Structure 1
Amino acid sequence: MRRHLIVLALAAGATGAGFTAHWFVSDEPKREGVVAGATESAGRSPAGRATVAGATTRPFDAARLRRAVRAYIEKRPGKAGVMATDLRTGLSFGENEKGEFVSASVMKVDILASLVLQRQRARRGLGLSDGERDLASSMIRVSDNSAADSLYSKAGHGSGVTKSNKRLGLVETTPFSTSWGSSTTSPADQVRLLRDLVSDTSPIGASGRQYILGLMGSVVEEQAWGVSAAALPGEKVALKNGWTPVRHQGTGWTVNSIGRITGRDHDFLVAVCSGDNPTMGAGVTTVEHVAGMVVSTLRASRP
């Protein structure tokens, strides 16, 4: 999947120090839309990534979409769940959205959100040191695990993040005591967390929200897969993916993707989680196709 970058300058706290956020912008060619219920058998198909520009909208049929998503997941190895909402139209859809999944590296967004929330209560602005910002950049942009270990410790490990999550409204996320990647979460909770990053009523201040979304909008190109498959050309994407083989909490691979897709007429918050995939590639295929099916249907629907 090809991506190019544009630059958006964002303020980073009350100190006046700035940083540059690179928002991923979809550079995919426009493709024919996907009829709800379309499936793929294997490989990373582009199916579901875009609806036809200017297509006539129709009333949202959640039942039809649910049947289509279930039919696709049932034919795939492993399990999956999805939650998506369009902040512009108010349409939302979930399938197995409360299911429990190993978080893997999507937990890194929760770690950073928790640390920012903790620090803003004691200090002005973002409240992170230069060294902590460097760690946060590595943790989100390149998914550096050592950086995550350090920031998880600074956030109070599992107990500290649990306390922060209560303020953030997360009800289905269980941070593991020391190993953040073994935490569990749900697609619904991940969309709640994304809402905390975009809402003016969030307990996270504006500078913190902009900072976290800026990092999610500048992940390295090789990690710009997942929910970004549902973006149309020119739309901005901020995301975080997670992937890991599991042994004690299931089998195969956990592959998750959460993110925001912003365009002229839509503002999607999307979370797709999957588990028990035989390979990472199989999980990526499932996550991308489910994201495409759901977002393309919401895009072509009206309340």
Structure 2
Amino acid sequence: MRRHLIALALAAAGATGAGAATYLAVTDGQSRRSGVTVNASESIKKRPAGERTTAAKVTTRPFNAAALRRAVRAYFEKRPGEAGIMATDLRTGLSFGENEKQRFVSASVMKVDILASLLLQRQRARGRLSDGQRHLAERMIRESDNAAADALYSAAGGGAGVRKANAAFGLKHTKPFPGAGSWGSSWTSPADQVRLLGHLASDRSALKASGRRYILGLMGSVMEEQAWGVSAAARPGEKVALKNGWTPVHRQGHGWAVNSVGRITGADHDFLIAVCSGGSPTMGSGVSTVEHVAGMVVDTMRASHA
């Protein structure tokens, strides 16, 4: 259950997790059972990916980016910490960003970058992932397993290897953590995360179609308790592929970093969305910020045209 996941993360705020041995003490992205209960004010009702409470048709109107920006800024001002969002609709061509170039601690959304980088390296070497690496990749994305991410980050050449791959992906603000550990302490931006998602969704990608399908397939089958975040912006019948990240931060800020990146595909829209946040007092607070702003932006883009 998702509530159990959030409860565990809240209880483990001071613990040290895999992938954080060399700089920050972070616990990030893993799903375990816990009997700890969550304060009702911070819990979020579980909602399957793709399900929204309302799905009424809305007549489209011209996209008013300025009005949306004012609304998003007003919401951010009311929330603790800071946040940024980038969203693009591949069908309509509409895009919107607020604080989209700001750097945030990546937490487990970095796992998509790790896998994409490793696949690109193997592709260039005319090779493929080993069976063992594919097993690790499944654990890393679907379960958000940190030990699997440690192994694949090392296989990709650590920070230097991922940085080289990111140059091919056109990422401008992402700074992989140096060395083979603490990948969750990397920096990234919502804009970069959407650029990376674009490489998973486009035929013009540096990655071949098989690699793109592989990553999106894993992101589309994350464990049920991890199907929160940008999925809050999906409607019934739409497909969602996502990866979330969450960690308490100690030396690169304070509070919680909570991020969600993903793709929502429906009959009329194909959204690439990245929401990053930092400085939230609790994980639940960060999740609420991420989900609310994703819904705000995507609902407005649905009801608009260029």
TM-score (norm 1): 0.84
Matched ranges for 1:80-159 at <5 A: 80-124=83-127, 127-159=128-160
1:100-157 alpha-carbon deviations (Å, 9 max, x no partner) = 1000000000000000000011125xx0010000000000000000000000000000
Partner residue, 2:168: 167
Q: Runs in 1 of length 4+ with deviation above 4 angstroms? A: 41-46, 49-52
Question: Is contact 2:138-2:218 (8 Å) kept?
Answer: yes
Following superposition, the deviation at residue 95 of structure 1 comes to: 0.3
Q: Aligned residues, how many? A: 262
User: AA paired with 2:148?
Assistant: A
1:270 to 252, 267, 273: 273
Using the alignment, how far apart are the partners of 2:136 and 2:296 within structure 1?
35
1:201-223 alpha-carbon deviations (Å, 9 max, x no partner) = 11100100000000000000000
Using the alignment, how far apart are the partners of 1:267 and 1:253 within structure 2?
29
1:51/1:301 CA distance change after superposition, 3 Å? farther
1:221 to 220, 224, 232: 224
User: AA paired with 2:183?
Assistant: W
The structure in which a higher percent of residues are strand is 1
Question: Is contact 2:55-2:235 (8 Å) kept?
Answer: no
Using the alignment, how far apart are the partners of 2:58 and 2:68 within structure 1?
18
2:226 is the alignment partner of 1:245: no
Using the alignment, how far apart are the partners of 1:71 and 1:91 within structure 2?
22
2:290 is the alignment partner of 1:294: no
User: AA paired with 1:109?
Assistant: V
Partner residue, 2:287: 284
The 3-state SS of whatever aligns with 2:203 is: coil
Question: Is contact 2:85-2:100 (8 Å) kept?
Answer: yes
- Structure 1 residue runs of 5 or longer lacking an equivalent are 3-40
The 3-state SS of whatever aligns with 1:232 is: coil
Following superposition, the deviation at residue 55 of structure 1 comes to: 1.2
Q: CA RMSD in A?
A: 1.8
Question: Is contact 1:239-1:257 (8 Å) kept?
Answer: yes
1:78 to 73, 77, 81: 81
Using the alignment, how far apart are the partners of 2:150 and 2:236 within structure 1?
36
User: AA paired with 2:139?
Assistant: S
User: AA paired with 1:169?
Assistant: G
The 3-state SS of whatever aligns with 1:83 is: strand
User: AA paired with 1:81?
Assistant: G
Following superposition, the deviation at residue 53 of structure 1 comes to: 2.6
Question: Is contact 2:42-2:284 (8 Å) kept?
Answer: no
The 3-state SS of whatever aligns with 1:54 is: coil
Question: Is contact 1:176-1:182 (8 Å) kept?
Answer: yes
Matched ranges for 1:3-22 at <5 A: none
1:178-206 alpha-carbon deviations (Å, 9 max, x no partner) = 31000000000000000000110111001
2:58 is the alignment partner of 1:55: yes
Using the alignment, how far apart are the partners of 1:53 and 1:152 within structure 2?
43
Q: Percent identity?
A: 75
The 3-state SS of whatever aligns with 2:279 is: strand
1:25-51 alpha-carbon deviations (Å, 9 max, x no partner) = xxxxxxxxxxxxxxxx976489xx576
User: AA paired with 2:80?
Assistant: P
Using the alignment, how far apart are the partners of 2:191 and 2:53 within structure 1?
23
The 3-state SS of whatever aligns with 2:129 is: coil
2:203 is the alignment partner of 1:200: yes
The 3-state SS of whatever aligns with 1:265 is: coil
